Amino acid sequence: MYSKMNQQRTMSRQRAIKKLDIPVNPCYLNRWYGAVSVRAAIDAAFNEVWARAEYLASKYGEVMILTEPWQDVAPEVEHYLNLKLQCLDIFASKHTMYFESNIKMNPPFYGSKIVEMRQVAFHNGLKSKNVIDIPTHWRDSEKDWTWKDVCENGQHYSTSSSESWPRPEYQKNALEEQRLEAVEEYRQRYAYFTNNYY
């Protein structure tokens, strides 16, 4: 009963990612830009979308960025993704105003050059130049990686020679994670006691 959270960490993960500021498993670091958190991985993917769109626009004069509605996405993640799309739309409008090329978001008619955004689960598959993956789900048998794991496994992460490990923000995240876990364990114990003895 009380070890429910630990059991969940080792079960097969087939679910939408619920929070942005949770760590990504080390096995995905190389494929996902070295991003330590889900938020950082999403940011890096959107940066790649924009960089590719700018490159194609400068080379061919026009490029289309295509998106599809998000499917089965947790509210916090969906809100963030929609904010990122709004930023892309603003960047595209500004680009068209100041440069002699066009970047359009989801135009009614498709041109020959397209950058497509594809919703995916974290994976280690190959990257495509013009189809950029946006991670929104887990579909693997990895355990839920914690900030404590990040702090204790610095060998997986790139740091500068002058930088100490773990980084202060990771330590802070680990402490908050520990606090929330203690609160949840207390809540479960209280619920168990209330349901069985009253």
Residues 198 and 113 in one domain: no
User: Which one, of 9, 121, 136, 138, lies nearest residue 74 by Cα?
Assistant: 136
Structural domain harbouring 196: 146-198
Angle of the 38-60 helix axis to the 75-98 helix axis, nearest 10: 20
List Cβ neighbours of 61 (8 Å cut-off, separation of 6 or more).
Answer: 100, 101, 102
pTM for this model (two decimals) = 0.87
* pLDDT tens, N- to C-terminus, the chain (198 residues): 434 444 445 458 999 999 999 999 999 999 999 999 999 999 999 999 999 999 999 999 999 999 999 999 999 999 999 999 999 999 999 998 889 899 999 888 777 799 999 999 999 999 999 999 999 999 999 999 999 999 999 999 987 777 889 999 999 999 999 999 998 888 888 777 777 876
Total structural domains within the chain:
2
Residues 72 and 135 in one domain: yes
How many other C-beta atoms lie within 10 A of the C-beta of residue 161? 4
Residues 133 and 160 in one domain: no
